[in-house]
Structure 1
């Protein structure tokens, strides 16, 4: 059994047995639990730790584990209604709203209820994550000289150099000094938005696009302006019009396997994006989230936009999180020119620096043979899962539902629904049928042209679960 599942299962069994013990009564020893449940000592330790964190048991080194006393119920019940006034008291000229709508982001972060198949997730299923390699990397990192000391605010030099090679490609067009280490891609994206646009300013975004970008922009008081995209990426003719009409100085795009539709920016449009932005005196934020999620049957990948940009138009954002683990919050910002100092200042003010042990662990991971093996493994697995999901969709769902583009990278497909379909009702019915899917509305910065669903094939347990998930979606559709 997978270690994480074993811990959760054992914790659940022990939680159900706690009523057998009086408060303060000692639980069976760890050795007895190992023998009874046929699990490892590590699993027992972690399960007991989970119960202790919930306040259900108390562990005493050398003595054992004991059932905790129930809460006294003396928690004060004050009156917090005054906060409604304080939180909503905005001045007329306040440019940044203090309320933030994170619902679309939380939908992809929250674990589904038990028994529900997750087709709306944004991360690899635990079975696809390189947990052994991560554990080994973390162990080696902890033994590195100075691993627990204060790192440079820009990030470790070796890690900056690694990201520079990844971003700049064989030509070496990105230098380590152009790179800042960040706490994942979302942190990098938020920092770039704050650096480049003042509150109240318009920013151009692809339509549809990643809801986390829209939430971050609105939280910073920015106004997302949609620029339609098709199977070749953003419409560059409309991009030029949008720059002129809005006066924006920022365009955010995902040139490679864009979320949610999976398109790759065509060769012709790559040059046009840079030309149009340069003529508008604008920056391009390149969100390169999916480069390490390429599928086995994909052809050669295009270089990053940053690799083809000597003039500092592109601010590049990437991370290790999507291809490794949700908890490996290590990413990078790459930029040239004076904007790099502004980005550095924002990073320092926001977080001082990224945890050094985490940076050291990232270095150990990407420098090991296990990293290359892991990327090959997920390339093959993601291709298999994509084909399984597409086959199930075509077999199970009515003809008006259509996947217009089968991406060769990333972890999701974009399903066009028949006109008039109520996305919210379908999503809610699907959840009752036992499958979680993502409605299309949150991916559009303005009114969507049609109803959609985004289906993830990375967060499910495997191909059989993908097939069952689509079958449950069909049940919801029929309902």
Structure 2
């Protein structure tokens, strides 16, 4: 049997390219796209190793490498060191990344970082809507076209409330947005040109990964330690690459929960000034003032942007947030927002700002953090002895799986037991190897009893050995 015959026998995907239709790598990518669309290849399917497919088609490895790179650029596949090149899911640019609950009567969803369900929250919203209905002038103003930067009264209310939480900023520094993800995307679209580089923690928020990819930006990972992004690694990266913007989650990284010390933040600011980086701080994973360090916009106001959203403290469905930006960047950001949607809707902003200004939201927020801390304690109790990273106020925890568990197997086996998790792949920047870890979100279950049942299932699963995998031939 020839090398080609042996290779063909081992390839589970064998394209039949038309070599007369332009560059071969483009023909191969077109066939890959067609096979994905027709269902021949399904999301998660692994493509043949490059050398194997090259031997099967009797082409150079360079041709297959170029094919796979073009397929990744088109959003057809994801490449990850250690797990190969796999077909990407049809409804998400990041494998395993979703924002809607998968909970059913038969399972418990621990995959989403969402606020805990509260009857008090629903009742407060109902009461607030009745009060606003009695204020026709306020409602009428909210239904009109809004200024690009956002309604001045709403920005004043929001700035006052943020100041009371230890985040002082003036209303003129704020641009109202449709939530935190909108602020992420708007910032990248406005301040980073296609082909330029952004950098972040090597493990970071999947929404940022998706936004950078959608905009055609080069997204570079910065190695981490227990405090998050390492300044020495960032310095080396800046010496090798021209980076325009640095995305940061200093209070507690999503997914690992790593929190930066004051010294770590100051070291990053020094590097940012030396290499002229913009700093985008994601403050959506809100924590109380007593647990919060100095935000980057206080350490380097001339180059720092800060994202706020009510998604984690009131309700994700309101789609209301704000972006704090330096004065010299505000005209560009406002113009970009105007080009996107004229302005953010007035009614959600009115509801959110009145809710915060009334003082009623503070009670819900205080209850929520107490409940989160209780759930963190329950997690530590049920999974005692395992390697867990988390912040005391975090909605989630990062579980490093014991050998020989692999994340993909653990997520699958947990789902068989009725517990929905997310593995490490969606959080990985670039093609670096994904750690054998999973994120456990503590807030989706309606009560601690449901969370307890889910954690007990995970504890029992961790105590077992994973199934033996058949060795590839």
- Give the structure-1-normalised TM-score: 0.73
1:475 Cα offset (Å): 4.2
Matched, 1:361 2:347: no
Q: In 1, Cα distance between the equivalents of 2:184 and 2:440?
A: 24
1:300 Cα offset (Å): 4.5
1:361 Cα offset (Å): 0.5
- Does the 8 Å contact 1:104/1:212 carry over to 2? no
Matched, 1:430 2:414: yes
After TM superposition, the structure 1 = structure 2 runs for residues 250-399 of structure 1, keeping only pairs within 5 Å, are: 250-291=245-286, 293-294=287-288, 299-311=290-302, 313-394=303-384, 399=385
The 3-state SS of whatever aligns with 2:148 is coil
1:97 Cα offset (Å): 4.3
Partner of 1:444: 428
Partner of 1:46: none
1:128 Cα offset (Å): 7.0
1:241 to 214, 228, 236: 236
Matched, 1:472 2:472: no
Q: Which runs of 4+ in 1 moved over 4 A?
A: 81-85, 92-100, 103-106, 165-173
Q: In 2, Cα distance between the equivalents of 1:317 and 1:97?
A: 29
Partner of 1:25: none
- Comparing 192-201 and 300-309, the one that deviates more: 300-309
Matched, 1:178 2:168: no
After TM superposition, the structure 1 = structure 2 runs for residues 188-207 of structure 1, keeping only pairs within 5 Å, are: 188-207=183-202
Root-mean-square deviation over aligned CA pairs? 2.9
- Does the 8 Å contact 1:439/1:453 carry over to 2? yes
1:194 Cα offset (Å): 1.0
Matched, 1:109 2:100: yes
Query: In the superposition, relative to structure 1, how do residues 102 and 96 fare at CA in structure 2: closer, same or farther (>3 Å)?
Result: closer
Q: Which runs of 5+ in 1 are unaligned?
A: 1-80
1:168 Cα offset (Å): 6.1
Q: In 2, Cα distance between the equivalents of 1:129 and 1:236?
A: 43
1:220 Cα offset (Å): 0.9
- Does the 8 Å contact 1:140/1:361 carry over to 2? no
Q: In 2, Cα distance between the equivalents of 1:372 and 1:170?
A: 10
Partner of 2:124: 133
- Comparing 282-291 and 180-189, the one that deviates more: 282-291
1:318 Cα offset (Å): 1.3
- Does the 8 Å contact 1:206/1:228 carry over to 2? yes
Query: In the superposition, relative to structure 1, how do residues 169 and 380 fare at CA in structure 2: closer, same or farther (>3 Å)?
Result: closer
Q: Which runs of 5+ in 2 are unaligned?
A: 1-33, 39-66, 77-90, 467-473
* 1:65-120 C-alpha deviation (Å, 9 max, x unpaired): xxxxxxxxxxxxxxxx99969xxxx9x99997477843547434233232211111
1:470 Cα offset (Å): 1.6
Q: In 2, Cα distance between the equivalents of 1:163 and 1:95?
A: 41
- Does the 8 Å contact 2:75/2:93 carry over to 1? no
- Does the 8 Å contact 1:169/1:303 carry over to 2? no
The 3-state SS of whatever aligns with 1:252 is strand
Q: In 2, Cα distance between the equivalents of 1:178 and 1:334?
A: 5
Matched, 1:407 2:407: no
The 3-state SS of whatever aligns with 1:139 is helix
1:172 Cα offset (Å): 8.2
- Does the 8 Å contact 2:297/2:304 carry over to 1? yes
1:130 Cα offset (Å): 1.4
- Give the structure-2-normalised TM-score: 0.74
